[in-house]
Chains A and B, each alone.
Chain A
Amino acid sequence: MLHNRCGHRGTLVVAEQSGQASRFRCPYHAWTFRNDGSLQSIPCREGYDGTDFPQNDSSLGMQPVARVGVYRGFIFASLAAGGPDLSSFLGPTTGAIDNIIARAPAGRISFEGGVFRVRHASNWKIYLENMHDGLHPMIVHQPSIEPARAGSRVMPPPSGSTAFALDVIAANGQSYQAMGKLPVSLFPYGHTEMAAFRSNPAATGQFAAYREQLVALHGTVETDRLLGDNRLSTMFYPSASVQATSLQMRLIIPETVDSTLIEIHSLRLLGAPDSLWQRTVTLANTVHAPSSLVKHDDFAIYARVQDGLKGDSLDWIDYRRGINDPSTSLSEAYIRNQFVAWRDYMTAQ
């Protein structure tokens, strides 16, 4: 993995979101780099005669990032030469990746179907601080919960993917009591994980054949464990989150103090029935997209927090909630856990 910067004048070498290339060519002065980043050729090299321009040196190449690690095909990069190794860093978060891959009958997954990219007018921390917030859905999402509930009550009742989407949107209307039963786990390095309102629904109804595929591979006990493994969102602090149940992955990319880019990817379980993938697509469209009825009210709140914090009437933001019961979605313990990691990063020598 390389830094996307020409060794000459600093130009961004590659502008594409994805693709393949046998070499990289800077569009400014045609410096050309091998795939390992080393400098392959430059035009009019004699112009450097009389200088100490290196002949066979990687110092002017596209620089490799400091460290790269791979966990089951997921590539992680760190810009810091020091710090924990990938295995220590990930800790129990790998359970979400393991679960998703095990649910794929082919034992592999792919990123498919397109990517949503959304720009938030707020700091990245505000986004992360909503990640496991069980106190806001019944308030912030009331404008989508109520129409979704009404939509489920019409006659004849909606079916298929529509019923599923409305059901997921309406599920935000859980009581505080129900939210208080949703477990949140705190891990080292700021990582966290929250359970879903219900276990993976793909085990029932039209997905019975899929379940049989897994039973043939893993046996009944292990299949029930895999499908019952209840993970709404797993936060890889601070730059990614995986929604194991709904098969999405989000990348959190800070741009400026008040701008954050979120990439929303959909994960396909290879070997599973097409209908399962199509439900993932429906979920992406209706719940995760920038046009989702749910997300809009979240985005708007993040921007309101960003705007409100421009006032300096108070020195502190209050994250005390749930100090005695840090293990549910009604506690702000997961935010405190993020700040412990942030403090450690900011004070590391």
Chain B
Amino acid sequence: MTDVAQFLFAPAKLLDSGAYDAWLDLFTEDARYWVPAYPAQTDPINEVSLYYENLALMQARIGRLRHPRAMGLPVRTSHLIGNVMADGQTRDGALIYRSRFQMIEFVGDAQRLYGGGVTHHLVADGDSWKIRQKRVDLVNAGGIFDLLQGFF
């Protein structure tokens, strides 16, 4: 099996190079991409989130990121992933991995820094993995936000 830490570096590289289709292929059909609006948020259904997206909504976001008339593009990013640690399993058998990330984003003339904790739910896929859920807990969740358009 592919080493999990190695697997988690792959999506970062794909996002940083704008390979969004290959990035999306790393998710399961029923995957969720969740960025809570608040620290320690437990409910994505009854509370608002910055992102709570399935493949269809992620695909729509990617469509916008590729649109020639979208404002504020291209988004250039650099992800740094670390502190990857196993943290048990979900009830339906997905492996839980926790990690930290820092992402530098450059859009227009502005460079911004985002960071926080990431929780992946991973399921085996051949000799590698797929992501059933990616949860990103931004350190500035609950704060005042500027423009957000890409993925962390």
Contacts and interface: CB of A to CB of B under 8 A. Distances in A.
Contacts of A299: 147
B147 A117 contact: no
Interface in B3-48: 35, 37-38, 41, 45-48
B67 A290 contact: no
B51 A297 contact: no
A113 B147 contact: no
A291 B48 contact: no
Contacts of B57: 151, 162, 165-166, 286
A296 B46 contact: no
B126 interface: no
A119 interface: yes
Interface residues of B, number: 33
Contacts of B113: none
A270 B20 CA distance: 41
A274 interface: yes
Residue among B45, B48, B51, B145 with the most chain A CB within 10 A?
A: B48
A289 B51 CA distance: 9
Contacts of A261: 144
Interface string A228-267: 0000000000000000000000000000000001000010
A147 B64 contact: yes
A304 B38 CA distance: 30
A266 B61 CA distance: 23
Contacts of B1: none
A289 B53 CA distance: 13
Given A290-B148, A296-B149, A114 B48 contact: yes
Contacts of B46: 112-113, 274, 277-278, 281
Interface string A131-173: 0000000001011101110110010001000100110010000
Contact of B54 (A114, A121, A162, A300): A162
Contacts, number: 116
B72 A296 contact: yes
Interface residues on A, range: 35 or more
Nearest to A147: B63
Interface in B62-94: 62-64, 67, 69-72
A162 B37 CA distance: 19
Given A116-B37, A118-B144, A290 B50 contact: yes
Nearest to A282: B52
B124 interface: no
B37 A114 contact: yes
Interface string A105-127: 00000001111111101000000
A285 B63 CA distance: 18
Contacts of A166: 56-57, 60
B59 A147 contact: yes
B49 interface: yes
B64 A143 contact: yes
A330 interface: no
A115 to B, nearest CB: 8
A215 interface: no
Nearest to B51: A291
B67 A146 contact: yes
A102 interface: no
Contact of A285 (B38, B49, B56, B147): B49
A5 B16 CA distance: 46
Nearest to B41: A114
Interface of A: 112-119, 121, 140, 142-144, 146-148, 150-151, 154, 158, 162, 165-166, 169, 261, 266, 274, 277-278, 281, 284-286, 289-291, 293, 296-297, 299-301, 304
Lowest 8 A-B CB distances belong to which pairs? A147-B63, A300-B71, A143-B67, A143-B70, A291-B148, A290-B145, A147-B60, A117-B144
Given A143-B71, A296-B72, A296-B149, 15 more contacts: A112-B46, A114-B37, A114-B41, A115-B48, A143-B69, A147-B62, A261-B144, A274-B46, A281-B47, A285-B48, A289-B49, A289-B50, A293-B60, A293-B149, A297-B70
Interface of B: 35, 37-38, 41, 45-52, 54, 56-57, 59-64, 67, 69-72, 143-149
14 contacts: A114-B48, A116-B50, A117-B143, A119-B146, A142-B69, A148-B60, A277-B46, A289-B49, A289-B148, A290-B145, A291-B148, A293-B149, A296-B71, A296-B148
